[in-house]
């Protein structure tokens, strides 16, 4: 179609123009960004019409998968970089050209040998004009041993600066001065969401939010957004954790138990849990999970099975048009249950963390593309009964 196909000579809509209801709403596009870092955030929020209709609520997804790196980790990387450039302690030297930034990937990530998260940090370092060299070697049998509890707790899933130990360790070879990004423990993580994601959601929802639903991998998103919305809104929303099978957080939230200091240390070995859902679930506490006062930011939790998540992912793809990863599907199952529990008329916000493209081999591999059946009984009520 040429530019004029939908206009007559006076610039009015022609007979061939699509009806106004189906035309995209035009908005002034944002001005050019001065760097990649300035394209991070300000992601759209969209209503999920079918889930909303099914629950008679309004369920929205924040499209974090549209960040330049494809996930909300861009916000966190930018915030951690800033904290490294401006350290709070005078004993810590600020990040300088030639320094290396490293992040300990979880054992689970290393097992896939993908080093996805590590490469994200690597890229960000280059963006800011900082040269960093990060090499990760993973010895699979040693990691498996460690995951089964036979390994040495002290260095499990973390970094080791010993090239000779290459055969049984994850090694990050670093030349020059190194800075540990430490997304699990760095306050710059939840602050990224407190200062950007939370305010964006508040503005986009006009402050009218009954529940915010999200999973926790480090805890940064749910704590940062949850804390901001609770402080800012007149009627604070319910903050609901979407937790996959095997994660230790669900029981903690349900029974209102905080991780004890011993538990924090004692369960350090396995920070991510065994499920097809990648990126969320914790069996230990992190600073970013325990943000806030003793009552915590999180009010409630919903347990989601792998099968429920797969069914939801299929539904989102077929019925909503969104091809998302496992954690986004878990979020939607929990959002749906939250909506059903709250009842008609409520406004619920959740997160689309990343695209299904990143989860082809594990999560999407188990989904039959030919199966376009209904969500089934995701949620306590049978969704089939609620269908049109």
Minimum CB–partner distance for residue 232 and ligand PMP (Å): 19
Minimum CB–partner distance for residue 24 and ligand PMP (Å): 28
Please give the residues from 335 up to 364 whose contact with ligand PMP meets the rule CB under 6 A. 353-354
Cα 191–Cα 197–Cα 200 angle in degrees, nearest 5:
130
By C-beta, is 209 or 249 nearer to ligand PMP?
249
Pick the stretch among 27-35, 213-221, 260-268, 373-381 that binds ligand PMP (CB under 6 A).
213-221
The reply on whether position 186 binds ligand PMP by CB under 6 A is: no
Minimum CB–partner distance for residue 223 and ligand PMP (Å): 8
Minimum CB–partner distance for residue 180 and ligand PMP (Å): 16
The reply on whether position 215 binds ligand PMP by CB under 6 A is: yes
Work out which of 55, 218, 275, 283 binds ligand PMP, going by CB under 6 A: 218
By C-beta, is 104 or 280 nearer to ligand PMP?
280
Work out which of 169, 247, 327, 350 binds ligand PMP, going by CB under 6 A: 327
By C-beta, is 174 or 309 nearer to ligand PMP?
309
Please give the residues from 262 up to 281 whose contact with ligand PMP meets the rule CB under 6 A. 278-280
The residues near 336 (Cβ < 8 Å, ≥ 6 apart) are 51, 54, 55, 59, 312, 375, 378, 379, 383
Minimum CB–partner distance for residue 207 and ligand PMP (Å): 23
CA–CA separation, 220 and 223 (whole Å): 5
By C-beta, is 69 or 279 nearer to ligand PMP?
279
163 class by beta-carbon count within 10 Å (0-12 exposed, 13-18 middle, 19+ buried) = exposed
By C-beta, is 182 or 346 nearer to ligand PMP?
182
Work out which of 216, 291, 334, 335 binds ligand PMP, going by CB under 6 A: 216
Please give the residues from 12 up to 71 whose contact with ligand PMP meets the rule CB under 6 A. none
By C-beta, is 237 or 325 nearer to ligand PMP?
325
Q: How many CB atoms lie within 10 A of CB 125?
A: 24
Tell me, residue by residue from 280 to 319, as one string, x for binding to ligand PMP by CB under 6 A and - for no binding: x---------------------------------------
The reply on whether position 221 binds ligand PMP by CB under 6 A is: yes
Minimum CB–partner distance for residue 175 and ligand PMP (Å): 28
Work out which of 220, 237, 244, 379 binds ligand PMP, going by CB under 6 A: 220
Minimum CB–partner distance for residue 226 and ligand PMP (Å): 11
By C-beta, is 217 or 237 nearer to ligand PMP?
217
Give the strand pairing for 238-244 and 300-304.
parallel
Minimum CB–partner distance for residue 164 and ligand PMP (Å): 31
* HEC per residue, the chain: CCHHHHECCCCCECCCCCCHHHCCCCCCCCCCCCCHHHHCCCCCEEECHHHHHHHCCEEEEEEHHHCCCCCCHHHHHHHHHHHHHCCCCCCCCCCCCCCEEECCCCHHHHHCCCCHHHHHHHHHHHHCCCCCCCCEECCHHHHHHHHCCCCCHHHCCCCECCHHHHHHCCEECCCCCEEECCCCCCHHHHHHHHHHHHHHHHHHCCCCCCEEEECCCCCHHHHHHHHHHHHHCCCCCEEEEEEECCCCHHHHHHCCCCCCHHHHHHCCCCCCCCCCCCCCCCCCCCCCCCCCCCCCCCCEEEEECHHHHHHHHHHHHHHHCCCECHHHHHHHHHHHHHHHHHCCCCEEEEEECCEHHHHCCCCHHHCCCCCCCCCCCCCCCCHHHHCC
Minimum CB–partner distance for residue 258 and ligand PMP (Å): 17
Minimum CB–partner distance for residue 221 and ligand PMP (Å): 3
Write out the residues near ligand PMP by the rule CB under 6 A. 215-221, 278-280, 325, 327, 353-354
């Amino acid at each position: 179609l040429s530019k004029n196909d939908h206009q007559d000579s006076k610039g009015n809509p022609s007979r061939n123009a699509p009806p106004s209801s189906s035309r995209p709403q035009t908005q002034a596009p944002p001005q050019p960004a001065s760097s990649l870092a300035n394209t991070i955030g300000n992601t759209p929020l969209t209503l999920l019409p079918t889930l909303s209709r099914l629950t008679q609520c309004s369920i929205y997804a924040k499209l974090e998968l549209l960040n330049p790196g494809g996930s909300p980790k861009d916000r966190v990387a930018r915030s951690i970089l800033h904290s490294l450039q401006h350290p709070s302690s005078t004993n810590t030297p600020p990040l300088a050209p030639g320094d290396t930034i490293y992040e300990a990937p979880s054992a689970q990530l290393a097992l896939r040998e993908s080093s996805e998260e590590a490469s994200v940090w690597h890229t960000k370092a280059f963006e800011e004009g900082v040269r960093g060299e990060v090499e990760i070697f993973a010895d699979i049998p040693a990691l498996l041993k460690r995951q089964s509890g036979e390994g040495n707790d002290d260095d499990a899933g973390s970094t080791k600066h010993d090239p000779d130990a290459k055969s049984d360790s994850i090694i990050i070879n670093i030349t020059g001065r190194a800075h540990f990004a430490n997304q699990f423990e760095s306050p710059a993580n939840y602050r990224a969401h407190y200062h950007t994601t939370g305010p964006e959601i508040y503005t986009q929802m006009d402050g009218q939010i009954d529940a915010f639903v999200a999973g926790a991998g480090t805890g940064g998103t749910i704590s940062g957004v949850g804390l901001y919305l609770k402080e800012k809104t007149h009627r604070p929303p319910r903050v609901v954790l979407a937790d996959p099978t095997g994660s230790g957080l669900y029981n903690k939230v349900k029974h209102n138990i905080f991780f004890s200091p011993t538990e924090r240390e004692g369960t350090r070995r396995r920070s991510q849990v065994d499920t097809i859902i990648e990126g969320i679930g914790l069996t230990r506490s992190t600073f970013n999970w325990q943000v806030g006062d003793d009552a915590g930011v999180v009010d409630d939790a919903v347990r989601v099975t792998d099968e429920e998540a797969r069914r939801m992912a299929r539904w989102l793809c077929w019925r909503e048009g969104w091809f998302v990863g496992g954690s986004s599907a878990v979020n939607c199952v929990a959002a749906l249950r939250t909506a059903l529990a709250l009842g008609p008329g409520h406004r619920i916000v959740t997160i689309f963390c990343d695209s299904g493209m990143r989860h082809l081999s594990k999560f999407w591999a188990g989904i039959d593309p030919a199966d376009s059946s209904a969500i089934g009984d995701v949620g306590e009520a049978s969704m089939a009964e609620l269908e049109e």
